[in-house]
Amino acid sequence: MTTQEQPHNQLVEVHSMRMSFADFAELHGKKIIVAAISIILLCAIYFTVSTVSNSAFEEESKRWAGLGFSQQSAVLQEFAQKNSGTSQALIARVEAARVLLAQGMTLFASTNVEIKKEATNNIEKAIELYEKVIDDPMLIPELKAQSLLNAGKGHEALKRFDKAKDYYTQASLLGDKTGAGALAVKYLKNLQDNQVDLATFYKNFD
């Protein structure tokens, strides 16, 4: 190869490389751009989801902390109202109903007219709260069975035996997977077998 041919060949190689790069860019340039944009979007989505998830987790934690261990029905109901639509609100309503029912049952035997009236009102309110939560799809089976069982207890105390049987029956259908459901089976049988005696018993508290 002569000295004059060397520069010429180098120019040909450079030109060939440029053409190859141009062809590659033309063929794959759009794909590379699309891929780069996709990666950027995926990164943006990831960081957005991570931020939202962390924020949601923090909010969830705050709600659990806010629920606390209050034994005051009014406080629990207020919490439930402020956090409506959350699992914490649902649990707060169940707990508020339990507190009201316990208070009502404790005072139910009182001979004082005003206290007796308060006891009856508490039981009525407890039943009302239970009836609001039992069909909530977020309610886990155990809490649903407990709610049905306790609503039945309330109706039984108020001598609404047919209503009590209905709730006990519904709770008993969950007896194979919940403790409260299994207990409801016993309450139902006791009421069916001893309704006359129970009616006489509860009449003593009129």
Considering the domain 70-203, what is its CATH architecture?
Answer: Alpha Horseshoe (1.25)
What does the block give as tokens for 198? 């129970």
Q: 65: closest CA among 83, 81, 50, 49?
A: 83
Q: Which pLDDT value is given to residue 79? A: 86
Cα distances from 154 to residues 67, 105, 146, 164, in angstroms, run 25, 8, 12, 8
DSSP assigned state of 205: T
pTM for the predicted model, two decimal places:
0.67
What is the pLDDT confidence band of residue 29, given thresholds at 50, 70 and 90?
Answer: low
Question: Residue 132 above 50 pLDDT?
Answer: yes
Question: Residue 172 above 90 pLDDT?
Answer: yes
Backbone angles phi, psi at 153, to 5 degrees: -60, -40
Q: Which pLDDT value is given to residue 137? A: 92
Question: Residue 25 above 90 pLDDT?
Answer: no
Cα distances from 88 to residues 95, 98, 99, 139, 192, in angstroms, run 10, 15, 16, 11, 36
Please, are residues 100 and 133 in contact by the beta-carbon 8 Å criterion? no
Please, are residues 71 and 99 in contact by the beta-carbon 8 Å criterion? yes
DSSP 3-state of 203: helix
Give the whole-number percent of the chain exceeding pLDDT 70: 66
Q: Say which range, 24-28, 155-159, 190-194, has the weakest mean pLDDT.
A: 24-28
H-type alpha helices, 68-140: 73-82, 87-107, 113-133
Average pLDDT across the chain, whole number: 77
57's enclosing H/E stretch is helix 5-67
What is the pLDDT confidence band of residue 36, given thresholds at 50, 70 and 90?
Answer: low
Question: Residue 98 above 90 pLDDT?
Answer: yes
Q: Which pLDDT value is given to residue 84? A: 86
